[in-house]
């Protein structure tokens, strides 16, 4: 039964994939000369792509805390696996900062590129300034940016310390930081939301799974201030403390 469900979901997602590819191409062509309009419409359609994906894969999540915050916020969360992306994308309009390895993933790579994802190559230390600048540009354009500052997926047993460099974008833009904690409730250790070491195995597991439930805790905003290291520590402490409280 699991493989039948996976096959049906895969076929449905192919249709959704084609529709959003066409929408993305159209937006890039229509608003080629207007970056602000591209930001506006790409974030709008990315939000609905994520919501539809959650519906197809039956990701059900409950939100605790603020359900609205000002555009142009830096949203930081713990990271377990691909469902984090869909859930946060469905939660808010914004742009993701993601590892460059996604460019090797079929289907998602082209969608991520059309969605104006900011790609981070962890092996290229010289790229950090460029990433921070791109994040700052979006924040100053009243577009939220979504990032997983652990810089890797974990097995969900704990939250590891956040990398501080990316918080420089919030300091420069004086953008509020919104800490978010995601907790899955499937009874597995680790949760099936965990990415693991194989993209295809991970996606097949998600396609076969009847339902995945999660709770999303949107924590109080943190003022950017002037110290990115302190900002990273404050955000990490907020996310980790909440996570440990609900284990």
User: Cβ distance 80 to 194 under 8 Å?
Assistant: yes
SS3 at position 4: helix
Q: What is the mean pLDDT of residues 63-84?
A: 91
E strand residue ranges, 169-221: 177-184, 212-218
Q: Tokens 């691909």 — which residue?
A: 82
Alpha-carbon span 151 to 163, nearest angstrom: 7
Q: Is 155 helix (H, G, I), strand (E, B) or coil?
A: coil
Q: Which domain holds residue 22?
A: 2-245
Please calculate the CA angle 65-244-216 and round it to the nearest 5 degrees: 30
Q: pLDDT tens for residues 122-131?
A: 667 678 889 9
| pLDDT, tens digit, 9 for 90 and up, residues 216-226 | 999 999 999 89
CA–CA distance, 233 with 221 (Å, rounded to integer): 14
How far apart CA 206 and CA 83 sit, in angstroms, is 9
Mean pLDDT across the stretch 224-240?
96
Tell me, what's the pLDDT at 164? 93
| Domains identified in the chain, total number | 1
CATH number of the domain where residue 215 is located: 3.40.1130
Average pLDDT over residues 91-107: 82
């Amino acid at each position: 039964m699991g493989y039948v469900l996976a096959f049906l979901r895969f076929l449905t997602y192919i249709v959704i994939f084609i529709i959003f590819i066409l929408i993305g191409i159209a937006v890039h062509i229509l608003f080629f000369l207007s970056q602000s309009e591209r930001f506006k419409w790409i974030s709008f359609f990315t939000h609905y792509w994520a919501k539809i994906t959650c519906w197809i894969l039956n990701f059900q999540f409950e939100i605790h805390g603020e359900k609205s915050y000002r555009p142009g916020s830096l949203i930081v969360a713990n990271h377990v696996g691909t469902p984090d992306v869909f859930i946060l994308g469905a939660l808010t309009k914004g742009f993701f900062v993601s590892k460059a390895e996604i460019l090797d993933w079929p289907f998602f790579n082209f969608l991520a590129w059309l969605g104006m994802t900011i790609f981070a190559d962890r092996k290229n230390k010289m790229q950090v300034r460029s990433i921070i600048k791109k994040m700052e540009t979006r924040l100053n354009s009243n577009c939220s940016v979504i990032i997983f500052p652990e810089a890797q997926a974990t097995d969900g047993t704990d939250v590891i310390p956040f990398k501080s460099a990316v918080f420089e974008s919030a300091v420069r833009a004086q953008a509020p930081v919104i800490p978010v904690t995601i907790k899955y409730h499937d009874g597995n250790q680790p949760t099936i939301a965990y990415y693991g070491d194989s993209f295809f195995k991970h996606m097949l597991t998600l396609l076969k799974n009847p339902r995945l439930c999660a709770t999303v805790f949107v924590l109080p905003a943190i003022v950017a201030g002037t110290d990115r290291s302190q900002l990273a520590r404050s955000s990490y402490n907020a996310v980790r403390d909440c996570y440990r409280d609900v284990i």
